[in-house]
């Protein structure tokens, strides 16, 4: 009986550890996306100022893809 309780506690501890690890990974991923979106906004502004249509389109497309992925994740 005691052995069974130890196994159950160990399994619960492993499950909680995995949940915490996933939560940490999600927070890091979200922070990286936010940082990339901020950088893309800056690059889009610079492309507009420099009248560089190719860069503007590339950065805008990447930004919109990040936005679309964010909306899909929430929905």
When computed from its CA atoms, the radius of gyration of the chain, rounded to whole angstroms, is 21
**Residue range 65-75, pLDDT digits in tens:** 999 987 777 76
What is the predicted pLDDT for the residue at 65?
A: 95
Residues 6+ apart with CB under 8 A from 53: 47
11: left (phi over 0), alpha (psi -120 to 50) or beta: alpha
Asked whether the whole model's pTM tops 0.75, one would answer no
Give the C-alpha separation, 71 to 75, whole Å: 6
Q: Which residues of the chain have pLDDT under 70?
A: 1-10, 75
Q: Which residue in the block uniquely carries the two structure tokens 């420099």? A: 50
């Amino acid at each position: 009986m005691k052995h069974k309780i130890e196994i159950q506690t160990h399994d619960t501890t492993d499950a909680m550890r995995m949940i915490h690890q996933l939560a940490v990974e999600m927070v890091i991923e979200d922070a990286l996306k936010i940082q990339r979106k901020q950088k893309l906004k800056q690059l889009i502004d610079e492309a507009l100022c420099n009248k560089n249509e190719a860069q503007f389109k590339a950065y805008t497309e990447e930004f919109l893809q990040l936005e679309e992925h964010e909306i899909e994740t929430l929905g």
